[in-house]
Amino acid sequence: MAETEAALRTLAHNVRAARNRAGLSLDELGRRAKVSKGALVALEKAQGNPNFATLVRLADTLGISVSALMEGRTEGRVRVVSADSVMPLWTGEQGSEARLMLTTSGPAPTEVWRWKLEPGEEYPSHPHQAGVVETVSVTAGRMTLIVDGTEHPVEAGQTATFDGDAPHTYRGTGTQTCHLIMTVHLPPGPASAT
């Protein structure tokens, strides 16, 4: 319970700080991110329980990574993250999951994700801001990557890349669990007004 409360306080602080740096009111951030003002107020008071899609929309709108919303300050030059120390940000009904392992620093950060997709289970993602590029590298099993309605099979040992500003879905296929590493390459600077 204490870990959850600490994580919510960190998230609340980071959302408020990013919103203030971007010069956005609660109303304007809510409009751009398609999140209600009430949900934002609760979140900034560490009282909310935002879902994964809400975090992605807020991060995209603020021009930062999802992990920048969730992480406290990092110490040292090298950061080693163990998959079992990171809570899944999405879990499917059949056991699929997505874990945000870390985000690189710098003017154009990259998020590194570990995904597990069970056969037949899928995760539909909304389009990200312009300039976001994703890659998926399948390490075991098979998946179908659907970008803008077109299906692309990706098997173990293969990597696919695409512009993340189109609707996209990740679906487990075949008979085995699909394991993949996904990277999300964010454009430099804050998101522009839409």
Summarize pLDDT for 39-76 with one digit per residue, the tens.
888 888 888 777 777 888 888 888 777 777 777 655 56
pLDDT at 76 (0 to 100): 63
CA distances from 95 to 48, 90, 119, 172, 181 (A): 25, 10, 10, 11, 17
CA distance 77 to 42: 34
User: How many CB atoms within 10 Å of residue 71?
Assistant: 17
Average pLDDT over residues 19-28: 84
Residue (of 32, 41, 51, 16) closest to 191 by Cα position:
32
Question: With bands split at pLDDT 50, 70 and 90, how would you rate the model's confidence at 109?
Answer: confident
Average pLDDT over residues 135-141: 98
Among 2-11, 22-31, 107-116, where is mean pLDDT lowest? Answer: 2-11
pLDDT at 75 (0 to 100): 57
Q: Is 13 strand, coil or helix?
A: helix
User: Does pLDDT of 194 surpass 70?
Assistant: no
Residue (of 104, 158, 116) closest to 135 by Cα position:
158
Residue (of 147, 144, 156, 163) closest to 181 by Cα position:
156
CA distance 111 to 148: 22
CA distance 4 to 182: 25
User: Does pLDDT of 30 surpass 90?
Assistant: no
Q: Is 27 strand, coil or helix?
A: helix
**Pairing between β-strand 150-155 and β-strand 159-163 as defined by DSSP bridges:** unpaired
